[in-house]
Structure 1
Amino acid sequence: MLSGISAWVVGSLNAWSSVRAALMRLITSGGSIWVMLASRVVQSRFYESLPRPGLAGNRITRWAILTAQNRRKYADTDQCHTPPVDTTMPPRNTNTMRVSGGDARGIRLKGPSVAGVRPTTERVRAAIFNILDDRQVTDRIVLDLFAGTGSLGIEALSRGAAWADFVERNRRQSLDLQENLTRAGYARAGKVYCAEVSRWLEQPPSDMPSTKAYGLALLDPPYRMGDPAPTLWAVWDSGMLDAEATVVVGHSSRITLPEQVAGLGQYDSRRYGDNAVAFYSCRP
């Protein structure tokens, strides 16, 4: 039965193609609009003449005919199942983020341009700086490690920090970070170092004053690095923290950080879905 229906469908399509070709020749040779309307009528009559062996059979037959026509229509563009995409409107750019508070509040920053960079969300950034006291941020020298887009360090500058150093190993992302500093108006209030964090901590740049002491260190390493405790040890061993420094560490909520890391003691910890944040302070 199916083979009979298929043969009838193919024959009907061939007949309709011949009629349509004749109409198109008439139109292109100077036919009037009435000929075009007549072609619509013929097409309508063609579909109405299809067999109706029941609702399901009728739908299957019509689907077979329309699919065959669609394949012929898009055969040259290899788009048999979907019509051509309209590219006249550019895609919406969602690769941006905003400063959540302070003098630069609401300014949009450029999002990550490198795969694997996971910027701290605006919600988590706002929560971090709501937990920190003003004295832990205002007039402090800030160190932003694994800086990525620089959103954490820029947030600190917006809330009154005196200076911020950013360490990001990816060259392209470092350039975008510098652009974000300019967007936020802090191009002269921070410096971007393109370097591996562990190496940078072991061998600080020669142009950095040896007396520089960071009052606030912000760490948000990629989750694929696993436990950030070794980086905490490296920060402490670098001797770059002042006596009253605060260290904020972003990490996966699946990891539990130790209460004590060298001279750093954890005094607070928060969880935000898959993200967690631990707060450390220097202890004598």
Structure 2
Amino acid sequence: MRVVAGERKGMPLKAITGTTTRPTTDKVKESIFNMIGPFFSGGIALDLFAGSGGLGIETLSRGASKAIFVEKDGRAFQTLQENIKKCRYEAVAETFKTDAARAVKGLLKREIQLDYLFLDPPYHKKEYYDLLNSLVDHGKLSEDAIIVCEHSVEVNLPSSYGKYTLARQETYGGTIISIYRNEL
């Protein structure tokens, strides 16, 4: 695993061993950013099931001004913190070792607008995609926010989350990347 592009291009990232997380491969990560970017002028990212932090770190490397990482697994969280430190993003990264539902409740209390939302929960936990509704309903996404959902081919997501509609969908083996945008 590595940072694919931007100011930290080529920086190797530590991955988590075992089956508790499923890191997004470099090939899929590059495809995601070719679809949504590839580079940004500021903005806040939320990497909700961060694992080792690959998607949020990639967003920072490509120009986002801040990233919020949420991961509840202890080993994954430690690896996430190591990767952030290695990339020297401590000043622009917030990390939370907690469950995604609790993290979203905390975000609802903050004055924040998210520009990039990455949602890659455990594939067997389809209910976690419902957290999107809470963020949308409480106005926590900017008008031009981009939502990226990584899910199993067995999971069918809705055509929209509020005003954010499915703009693109790509399949990579057993994984689907669904991208939602506000089509103003």
Please confirm whether the aligned pair reaches a TM-score higher than 0.5, indicating the same fold.
yes
Q: TM-score, normalised by structure 1?
A: 0.60
How far is the alpha carbon of 1:171 from its aligned partner? Answer: 2.7
Question: What residue in structure 2 maps to residue 268 of structure 1?
Answer: 168
How far is the alpha carbon of 1:200 from its aligned partner? Answer: 1.4
The alignment status of 1:126 with 2:126, answered yes or no, reads: no
How far is the alpha carbon of 1:141 from its aligned partner? Answer: 0.8
CA shift in 2, pair 1:227/1:121, >3 Å: farther
Larger Rg: 1
Q: Matches of 1:205 and 1:282 in 2, distance apart?
A: 20
Q: Matches of 2:150 and 2:8 in 1, distance apart?
A: 23
SS of the residue corresponding to residue 9 of structure 2 reads coil
SS of the residue corresponding to residue 27 of structure 2 reads helix
Question: What residue in structure 1 maps to residue 2 of structure 2?
Answer: 98
Q: Deviations over 1:245-279 (max 9, x none)?
A: 11110001222221112222111111111111001
The alignment status of 1:147 with 2:50, answered yes or no, reads: yes
How far is the alpha carbon of 1:134 from its aligned partner? Answer: 4.6
The alignment status of 1:248 with 2:148, answered yes or no, reads: yes
Question: What residue in structure 1 maps to residue 179 of structure 2?
Answer: 279
How far is the alpha carbon of 1:172 from its aligned partner? Answer: 2.9
Aligned with residue 88 of structure 2, among 185, 201, 207: 185
- Contact 1:201/1:238 (8 A) holds in 2: no
**Which structure features the higher share of helix residues?**
1
Q: Matches of 2:150 and 2:120 in 1, distance apart?
A: 5
Question: What residue in structure 2 maps to residue 173 of structure 1?
Answer: 76
SS of the residue corresponding to residue 124 of structure 2 reads helix
Q: What code does the residue aligned with 2:119 have? A: L
Q: TM-score, normalised by structure 2?
A: 0.91
Q: Matches of 1:240 and 1:205 in 2, distance apart?
A: 7
How far is the alpha carbon of 1:231 from its aligned partner? Answer: 2.6
Q: Name structure 2 gaps, 5 residues minimum.
A: none
The alignment status of 1:163 with 2:63, answered yes or no, reads: no
Question: What residue in structure 2 maps to residue 60 of structure 1?
Answer: none
Q: Residues 174-213 of structure 1 correspond to what in structure 2 (within 5 A)? A: 174-204=77-107, 210-213=110-113
Aligned with residue 117 of structure 1, among 10, 18, 21: 21
- Contact 1:228/1:251 (8 A) holds in 2: no
- Contact 2:104/2:131 (8 A) holds in 1: no
SS of the residue corresponding to residue 188 of structure 1 reads helix
Root mean square deviation of aligned Cα: 2.0
How far is the alpha carbon of 1:109 from its aligned partner? Answer: 0.8
More displaced, 107-116 or 195-204?
Answer: 107-116
Aligned residue pair count: 184
Question: What residue in structure 1 maps to residue 116 of structure 2?
Answer: 216
Q: What code does the residue aligned with 2:5 have? A: G
Q: What code does the residue aligned with 2:169 have? A: S
Q: Residues 45-124 of structure 1 correspond to what in structure 2 (within 5 A)? A: 97-113=1-17, 115-124=19-28
How far is the alpha carbon of 1:140 from its aligned partner? Answer: 1.3
SS of the residue corresponding to residue 224 of structure 1 reads coil
Q: Matches of 1:266 and 1:277 in 2, distance apart?
A: 11
Q: Deviations over 1:172-226 (max 9, x none)?
A: 32121011011122121211111111121123397xxx33211111111111213
CA shift in 2, pair 1:243/1:117, >3 Å: same
Q: Name structure 1 gaps, 5 residues minimum.
A: 1-96
Question: What residue in structure 2 maps to residue 258 of structure 1?
Answer: 158
Q: What code does the residue aligned with 1:139 have? A: G
